[in-house]
Amino acid sequence: MDAINLKHGVPPQLRECHLALVEGYVIAGHVPVDEIRRLLKEKPSIVGLAVRGMPIGSPGMKGPNPEPYDVLAFDRQGQVSIYARK
């Protein structure tokens, strides 16, 4: 996975075991579909979105006590910013 993440410009601190390519953007980790739709609508100048770890309440991680988590945007220079808070 490291080689694939490196090839697609995912910063080391955001590399996860799930990776998708959607209309030219990289999606790493458990990113909610509503944020992917927003990304595709707004088309910001970034490489992609990531969610670190596997927070309870993120897609595929149901549980009785959802945790707050951030959806992070990253660019080609490795800059990371908060895209959404969940």
pTM: 0.91
Looking at the chain, how many residues does it have?
86
More confident residue, 32 or 17: 32
Q: How many CA atoms lie within 13 A of 32 on its CB side?
A: 17
In terms of Cβ atoms closer than 10 Å to its own Cβ (0-12, 13-18, 19+), residue 21 is: exposed
Q: What percent of the chain has a predicted confidence (pLDDT) above 90?
A: 78
Name the token pair of 28: 């790493």
Segment holding 50, helix H or strand E: strand 48-50
